[in-house]
Structure 1
Amino acid sequence: MSFLSRVMVLKSKAHFSAGGRGRPADQTARFEGSRKRKAAQAKNRVGLLIAGFAVFYCVIGGRLAQYGMAQPEITSSILPADRLLASRPDIVDRNGEVLATDIRTVSLFAEPHKIVDTDEVIEKLSTVLPDLDAKSIYSKLKSNSRFQWLRRQLTPKQQSQILALGIPGIGFRPEKRRFYPGGSTASHIVGYVNIDNRGVAGMERYIDTQGLADLASVGMTSDQPLEPVKLSIDLRVQAIVHEVVVESLKKYSSIAGGAVVLDVHTGEVLAMASAPDFDPNDPAAGGEEGWLNRMSNGTFEMGSTFKSFSIAMGLDAGTIKLSDSFDVRLPIRIGGFTIKDFHGQNRILSVPEIFQYSSNVGTAKIVDTVSIPHHKDFLTSLGLLTRMHTELPEVAMPSQPREWKKINQMTIAFGHGVATTPLQTAVAGVSLINGGRLIPPTFLPRTREQADAVATQVIKPSTSKDMRFLFDWNGSKGSGRNARVLGFDVGGKTGTADKIVNGRYVTNKNFNAFLAAFPMDDPQYVVLSFSDEPKTDKGNGAALAAMSAAPMVKEIISRAAPILGVKPKFGEDGSALLVSY
């Protein structure tokens, strides 16, 4: 090796030897710093990852809590399952007979996004449901929604037939349907529910207003059976009253009819019917005419039945006595109007004879013995000028003149000028014969003690005694004879009122009513019936209450009195026994 090469090798060795001895400390420091920096970075990355996951899970948890607390959404008219199966309480009569109950059923729905052939689905469903609205179903199945009702509340047979068709995209949801075993027998009392089992009318609506609807709205109802709601009506008597009222439309060719039976000591409604009516199982079939409860939600001029209240007012005020007489030979002319008698006797009549012959002139003279304010206050105290308070939601407000003048007072005396509901007329009639106590009517059971707590003394007991005499007098000698039932001592007052057409009274259209009580020696029940526009055989519309409304009461009492526990009495003192059958 050359000298120069040896020198270069030695320099190189010297250089490396010097470097190996001078750099280890710096290199170690650099390595240690790099390690710490990497460890810190790793720690930061793990912290960020943990924080990210924490935020992610907090968001998910918050959304779950939000969904849990939110109200369930109702899509395409579908209710939550708990509402579809929520129970309503059974409605029963005073003896426990079922008037309304829930039954399980199913409803048909579709999931349009799963439907393959819309036309085929409609064609197949029509074989089971021939009344299916094809146009409506087609639009539902072509919609973008994921749920559509097709038919609510199917029968088990219909469900089985549709299942056999094997149509994809359709299904069934369980529901509860309200069923009324008696059909139209007590329809205006019981009422009905809508497709979602919510009360629409009658006691069904009353039940919802007592808290059931509020519980349903917050989801606190269940499918467990509820305590039945017992009504005051007797289904046996109700069936009789309903049959008599419905038959009266055919018998007298009338446009409407109605009747009610009241307990004079408790104010309980034992039976009430109005016709035309409807079947609560299919309320739409009855139409608007059938929905109207004319007993409590229709107002009419009650005609001569109001003479009962007019004479009671005079007796109670002390301005007349039963022994008084009035000259009714001439009509009364006042304010351009003439008041005359339909059955004029052309002589002086006693108070009982005025009641018996239904004298308009005599009754007008009786009310003329009291002031107009007193007359108005008296009718108000009987509940005839204010809205009646009872459980039934359908209650109409009576009408009266804005300003009472003397002519108004005289015509109101015999039932023209004031329109009330038949039910509140019957309730006021109860106070005339039960000792003078006005008892609010109820469709729920009520004891005598409970009735005493809500009763109001509106006339003197002596006045009530006189009115029982007049009812009995007219029942045996006057227009009430056609309602007399052998052994049951029926008394009462008829009323034949001309109806108003185009603002004027017409004589060929009448509203006939009969207010009755029985047995008159110890009254237990009041019965009121009416026939709206009854026709005679000649079709002239001149039928009187004695020939239409009174016979309705006779049939009701003759059939219902034994059921109500009223024992017949025969002979003058009631001791004779019926020996011939």
Structure 2
Amino acid sequence: MIGRWRKKKAERDSSIVVEGARKATGGRAKNRVLMTMAAFFGIYSIIGGRLVYLGMQNPDDSGGPASRVTASRPDIVDRNGEVLATDIKTASLFAEPRRIVDADEALEKISSVLPDLDYEQTYNKLKSGTGFVWLKRQLSPKQQNDIMQLGIPGIGFRTEKRRFYPGGPTASQILGLVNIDNQGIAGIEKYIDSQGLADLQASGLATERDLQPVKLSIDLRVQHIVRDEISAALTRYHAIAAGAVVLNVKTGEVLAMASVPDFDPNNPYNAQDKDRLNRMTGGLYEMGSTIKSFTTAMALDSGKVTLDSKFDASRPITIGRQTIRDFHGKGRVLTVPEVFIYSSNIGSAREADVVGVEGHREFLKRLGLLDRMSTELPEVARPTEPKVWKKVHSITAAFGHGFSTTPMQTAVGAAALMNGGYLMSPTFLPRTAEEALAGATKVVENKTSADMRYLYLLNATAPGGSGKRATVPGYRVGGKTGTAEKVVNGRYSSTVRFNAFVASFPMDDPQYIVLSIVDEPKPEKPGLPATAGMNAAPIVANIIRRSASLLGVKPEFSQENEATLVSYQ
């Protein structure tokens, strides 16, 4: 009995021990599983966190070269809302040299798509071992797709912004350029940066949705006409350059401006060539007989001369070693209108002599011809003049020699002679007549302005007037030619010229100035002269003929040929 009890007790104790051992072993296994799971979870959490961290980092932080994401720029539009410049998205190619397995193979494959890469420079980049390097900025979609098909490890793309100009070279010298990082470096693009965009970009606030378009005073339709006409003239007259500007005389707004040769801002490989200069604001020239507009206005505004005054142009003027002659002299006394329409150097010199040397220089400064012009474009040249003005300088300046200014300043000064005597700084931004008058300077009397309007029209309509080839039926065009001899090897050359024509229309109430230039023109045909009346004036006529209706000027034929020649017998 006792034995049986002990046996059963031993069996119970044994089962308890086995059950306890089983429980102990099962608990340890469960702990191992949990620990293993926790370890794997921790490892993957670290890896995932690292990937998230790296994904949020700018590749610049990896020690490679600068790879700043290009910031947005506002659209630029013309006065009618037509887009002149805008941002488009483009892909740029970069490499992570630390991940490049075989630099030679990678370079060989990339070069098959981008053969213009600098082989040695790119190879050194791929072998540098750094974290990030740019290989090629602003790829085409096809280039991006072809490189993606190569499947090269360590190669990637970044989406950037690229400036696009729908009109190509049409307004290139107004709009200017941006660099590879979408920052303005010339023209209106640079002006926009100077007005605060660069600061917004630096602070990261230049986001596309917050930037309003920048509206210009330019009319794209007229701009196209201007560039088309000067491009044709460049070929027709075998010139080295040509240019033109259309200016609103009531507001100072520039409606169009161009000079050729120019460049394509979408592919500006030659933009820095010296012959691509914006000649209208950045070129300095002796403007020749167009300056006689200011000489005559100065004499009239002095009160010492009227339209009835007469000047002896029968003989050349000799001063020092200078002898002043007329190109097509009449050999007689001339009235003021005759001095103007016959473009008499002798008569102009005598007009300047009436005012005097100091008064002459003061008048040119008053008209803004001797100081650097103020406008939005940064490419503005500073006029040159004699260090000390003497009588000989005043005499030669009377017919446009001896000092240099820009064509745009000549157009601005002519606008003041047409609009009642108010000098307005030119602007490439929209401006009302009231705003323009508020910042204008009165430079000549109303009577002087009226007299000059009469003389401009007379020069285009009277027999012998040099502006006849600028006339456009119905639009009452008036103006003044300028044929200036250029200095070659320190001397004025009678065969190398800079020609210009400044016109205004409609002359009963002038609204616009159109000024054209032709640098070193040749005769259009053998036997023809290469004077301004033969080449610069027709450019103006063509521009007015094609653009007047776009500018809102209606033709009027009842007032044709109203001006008559005032001659001296």
TM-score by length of structure 2 reads: 0.86
Cα drift, residue 166 of structure 1: 0.4
Spell out structure 1 runs of 4+ moving beyond 6 A: 538-541
The 1:260–1:573 alpha-carbon spacing in structure 2 relative to 1, beyond 3 Å, is closer
Structure 2 residue 74 is matched with structure 1 residue 89: yes
Cα drift, residue 109 of structure 1: 0.4
Q: Which residue in 1 is equivalent to 2:182?
A: 197
- In structure 2, the gaps of 5 or more residues are 1-55, 563-569
Structure 2 residue 332 is matched with structure 1 residue 332: no
Deviations 1:380-399 (A, max 9, x none): 01000000000111100000
Structure 2 residue 437 is matched with structure 1 residue 452: yes
Deviations 1:323-381 (A, max 9, x none): 11111010000011100000111111111011011000000001100121111111101
Residue 505 of structure 2, aligned match among 501, 518, 524: 518
Q: Which residue in 1 is equivalent to 2:251?
A: 266
Q: In 2, distance between residues paired with 1:97 and 1:399? A: 38
Residue 66 of structure 2, aligned match among 78, 103, 123: 78
Q: Which residue in 1 is equivalent to 2:163?
A: 178
Q: Which residue in 2 is equivalent to 1:41?
A: none
Cα drift, residue 139 of structure 1: 1.5
Q: Which residue in 1 is equivalent to 2:284?
A: 299
The answer to whether the Cα contact below 8 Å between 1:101 and 1:180 also exists between their aligned partners in 2 is yes
The answer to whether the Cα contact below 8 Å between 1:304 and 1:494 also exists between their aligned partners in 2 is yes
Indicate the SS of the match to 1:270: strand
Residue 395 of structure 1, aligned match among 371, 380, 392: 380
The 1:271–1:458 alpha-carbon spacing in structure 2 relative to 1, beyond 3 Å, is same
The 1:73–1:461 alpha-carbon spacing in structure 2 relative to 1, beyond 3 Å, is farther
Deviations 1:144-171 (A, max 9, x none): 3221111001111211111111011110
Q: Which residue in 2 is equivalent to 1:222?
A: 207
Cα drift, residue 218 of structure 1: 3.1
Cα drift, residue 74 of structure 1: 8.8
Cα drift, residue 89 of structure 1: 0.3
Q: Which residue in 1 is equivalent to 2:410?
A: 425
Q: In 1, distance between residues paired with 2:389 and 2:512? A: 34
Q: Which residue in 2 is equivalent to 1:571?
A: 558
The answer to whether the Cα contact below 8 Å between 1:508 and 1:541 also exists between their aligned partners in 2 is no
Deviations 1:423-464 (A, max 9, x none): 011000000010000011000000111011111100000000
Cα drift, residue 537 of structure 1: 4.6
* Cα root mean square deviation, aligned: 1.9
Amino acid at match of 1:462: K
The answer to whether the Cα contact below 8 Å between 1:508 and 1:540 also exists between their aligned partners in 2 is no
Q: Which residue in 2 is equivalent to 1:352?
A: 337
Q: In 2, distance between residues paired with 1:410 and 1:258? A: 28
The answer to whether the Cα contact below 8 Å between 2:74 and 2:208 also exists between their aligned partners in 1 is no
Deviations 1:89-127 (A, max 9, x none): 000000000000000111000111111222211221122
Residue correspondence of structure 1 range 36-435 to structure 2 within 5 A: 75-81=63-69, 85-289=70-274, 291-435=276-420
Q: In 1, distance between residues paired with 2:347 and 2:356? A: 17
Deviations 1:479-535 (A, max 9, x none): 100000011011000000000112211111100000100011111100000000001
The answer to whether the Cα contact below 8 Å between 1:533 and 1:541 also exists between their aligned partners in 2 is no
Deviations 1:299-346 (A, max 9, x none): 000000000000000000011110111110100000111000001111
The answer to whether the Cα contact below 8 Å between 1:534 and 1:541 also exists between their aligned partners in 2 is no
Cα drift, residue 186 of structure 1: 0.2
Q: Which residue in 1 is equivalent to 2:546?
A: 559
Cα drift, residue 410 of structure 1: 0.4
The 1:287–1:541 alpha-carbon spacing in structure 2 relative to 1, beyond 3 Å, is farther
Indicate the SS of the match to 2:269: helix
Q: In 2, distance between residues paired with 1:221 and 1:513? A: 43
Residue 493 of structure 2, aligned match among 500, 506, 519: 506
Amino acid at match of 2:426: P
Indicate the SS of the match to 2:168: coil
Indicate the SS of the match to 2:523: coil
TM-score by length of structure 1 reads: 0.84
Amino acid at match of 1:400: E
Q: In 2, distance between residues paired with 1:368 and 1:381? A: 18
Q: In 1, distance between residues paired with 2:482 and 2:61? A: 57
Tell me which structure has the larger Cα radius of gyration. 1
Cα drift, residue 538 of structure 1: 6.6
The answer to whether the Cα contact below 8 Å between 2:524 and 2:530 also exists between their aligned partners in 1 is no
Structure 2 residue 473 is matched with structure 1 residue 491: no
Q: Which residue in 2 is equivalent to 1:15?
A: none
Amino acid at match of 1:309: F
The answer to whether the Cα contact below 8 Å between 2:178 and 2:184 also exists between their aligned partners in 1 is yes
Q: In 2, distance between residues paired with 1:76 and 1:333? A: 71
Q: In 2, distance between residues paired with 1:399 and 1:538? A: 35
The 1:147–1:366 alpha-carbon spacing in structure 2 relative to 1, beyond 3 Å, is same
Residues 136-145 or 495-504, more deviating: 136-145
Deviations 1:30-74 (A, max 9, x none): xxxxxxxxxxxxxxxxxxxxxxxxxxxxxxxxxxxxxx9xxx869
The answer to whether the Cα contact below 8 Å between 1:276 and 1:289 also exists between their aligned partners in 2 is no
The answer to whether the Cα contact below 8 Å between 1:87 and 1:225 also exists between their aligned partners in 2 is no
The 1:546–1:78 alpha-carbon spacing in structure 2 relative to 1, beyond 3 Å, is same
Amino acid at match of 1:210: Q
The answer to whether the Cα contact below 8 Å between 1:510 and 1:542 also exists between their aligned partners in 2 is no
Cα drift, residue 226 of structure 1: 1.1
- In structure 1, the gaps of 5 or more residues are 1-67, 576-581
Q: Which residue in 2 is equivalent to 1:529?
A: 516
Residue correspondence of structure 1 range 452-471 to structure 2 within 5 A: 452-471=437-456
Indicate the SS of the match to 1:258: strand
Q: In 2, distance between residues paired with 1:330 and 1:518? A: 35
Q: In 2, distance between residues paired with 1:103 and 1:486? A: 45
Q: In 2, distance between residues paired with 1:76 and 1:481? A: 66
Q: In 2, distance between residues paired with 1:574 and 1:476? A: 6
The answer to whether the Cα contact below 8 Å between 1:74 and 1:80 also exists between their aligned partners in 2 is no
Cα drift, residue 268 of structure 1: 0.1
Indicate the SS of the match to 1:164: helix
Cα drift, residue 80 of structure 1: 3.9
Indicate the SS of the match to 1:368: helix
Q: In 2, distance between residues paired with 1:302 and 1:427? A: 13
Indicate the SS of the match to 1:186: helix
Amino acid at match of 2:496: K
The 1:572–1:95 alpha-carbon spacing in structure 2 relative to 1, beyond 3 Å, is closer
The 1:223–1:571 alpha-carbon spacing in structure 2 relative to 1, beyond 3 Å, is closer
Q: Which residue in 2 is equivalent to 1:546?
A: 533
Q: In 2, distance between residues paired with 1:449 and 1:573? A: 31
Q: Which residue in 2 is equivalent to 1:63?
A: none
Q: In 2, distance between residues paired with 1:74 and 1:553? A: 59
Amino acid at match of 2:171: A
Residues 341-350 or 140-149, more deviating: 140-149
The answer to whether the Cα contact below 8 Å between 2:236 and 2:524 also exists between their aligned partners in 1 is no
